[in-house]
Amino acid sequence: MVIGGGAIRRLWLAVAWFGVGLLIFLSLTPDPPEIDLGNYGDKYEHIAAYAVLMLWFCQMYVSVAQRRWTAMLLLALAVGLEFVQRATGYRTFEIADMAAGALGIGMGWLLAPPRLPNWLDLAQSFLPGVGQKH
C-alpha cells in the first residue's frame, strides 16, 4: 500500500530521490567531504546513509513486499556503487562498505513504522484533506 496525499507525497518522494542522488554523488566524487568518526568512520557513514534512505522510503511503502523491493534495490545500489568506485581509479572498492550498506538497510527497515511513528502520516495530518490513505 502506498500512502497517498498528493503534494506532500510527491515532496516526500522527491526528498527520497534527492537522497539517492546525493548518495551516488558522494560515492563517486573524487574528493568527498570527510567527517572524522575515528576508525571505520566511513562504515558508520555507509550505515547511516542507507538506514536513513530505507527508513525514509518505508514511510511511503508500508507493505512487506514493497519494503523487500526497496531493500533489494538499495542493496543493489550499494553493491553497484562499489564496483563503479573500483572502475573510477580514484575511489576504492571495499566489500566491507557493501556490508555496511546492507546493515544500514536492515536497521532502517527495523526502525520503520510501526516501530517508530510514520512521519509522512504525521506530516499529512497537519494538512487539511491530505491525511487520507489511498
Tens-digit pLDDT profile for residues 58-84: 999 999 999 999 999 999 999 999 999
d(C-alpha 16, C-alpha 54), whole Å: 9
pLDDT, tens digit, 9 for 90 and up, residues 104-122: 999 999 999 999 999 988 8
Opening angle at CA 109, ends 21 and 2, nearest 5: 75
d(C-alpha 42, C-alpha 45), whole Å: 5
For residue 117, give every residue at least 6 positions away whose Cβ sits within 8 Å of its Cβ, in sequence order, or none.
none
Which residues pair with residue 61 across a beta bridge? 2
For the record, the C-alpha cell of 19 comes out as 537522497
Task: Please name the amino acid found at residue 30.
Answer: P
What pLDDT was estimated at residue 129? Answer: 57
d(C-alpha 50, C-alpha 106), whole Å: 9
Opening angle at CA 67, ends 42 and 57, nearest 5: 60
The model's pTM? 0.86
* pLDDT of 131 above 60: no
